[in-house]
């Protein structure tokens, strides 16, 4: 089943259109950089119910992943799923805060790059 960001059921064609819109799909993306580490936390609307919930009325349609571009792959490929956009945004911030509180990232530059990604994709005609 397919759902929009409000949890309303939609058709596969509508999902395809919405999913192709990076501004609709990408909720938040945070880049975390030190001389030694480069990580990104990306939170997005997936729209396709991933039935991880025991409650059939809850649709797991949002997700967050941590990507590491560092040699040691610190926290690479951690994945989280959510049933609401609010829950996804709140947990994204918890993850950002967990990096901030880690001594490895005490001097890190934290940058919100959602708009940058949207602009890059649009300049490519996507």
- Asked if 66 contacts 78 with a C-beta cutoff of 8 angstroms, the reply is yes
* Token pair 């996507």: residue: 126
Query: How far apart are the C-alpha atoms of 95 and 15, rounded to whole Å?
Result: 28
Give the number of domains in the chain.
Answer: 1
pLDDT value at residue 54: 61
Of the listed ranges 26-40, 47-61, 106-120, the least confidently predicted one is: 47-61
Residue 25: per-residue pLDDT = 97
Report DSSP state, residue 93: H
CB 81 within 8 A of CB 50: yes
Residues 6+ apart with CB under 8 A from 72: none
Predicted local distance difference test score (pLDDT) of residue 71: 87
How much of the chain, in percent, has pLDDT values that exceed 70? 93
Other beta carbons within 10 Å of 49? 18
Q: What is the mean pLDDT of residues 9-35?
A: 97
- Please give the residue range of the domain that contains residue 60: 2-123
* Per-residue pLDDT tens over the stretch 52-111: 656 666 789 999 999 999 888 989 999 999 999 999 999 999 999 999 999 999 999 999
Which residue's structure tokens are 């997936």? 46
């Amino acid at each position: 089943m397919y759902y929009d960001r409000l949890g309303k059921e939609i058709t596969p064609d509508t999902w395809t259109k919405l999913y192709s819109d990076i501004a609709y799909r990408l909720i938040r993306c945070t880049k975390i950089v030190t001389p030694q580490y480069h990580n990104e936390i990306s939170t997005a609307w997936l729209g396709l119910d991933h039935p991880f919930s025991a409650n059939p009325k809850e649709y797991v349609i949002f997700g967050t992943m941590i990507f590491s571009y560092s040699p040691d792959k610190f926290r690479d490929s951690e994945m989280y799923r959510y049933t609401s956009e609010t829950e996804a945004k709140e947990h994204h911030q918890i993850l950002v805060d967990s990096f901030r509180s880690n001594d490895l990232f005490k001097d890190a530059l934290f940058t919100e790059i959602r708009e940058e990604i949207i602009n890059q994709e649009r300049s490519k005609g996507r």
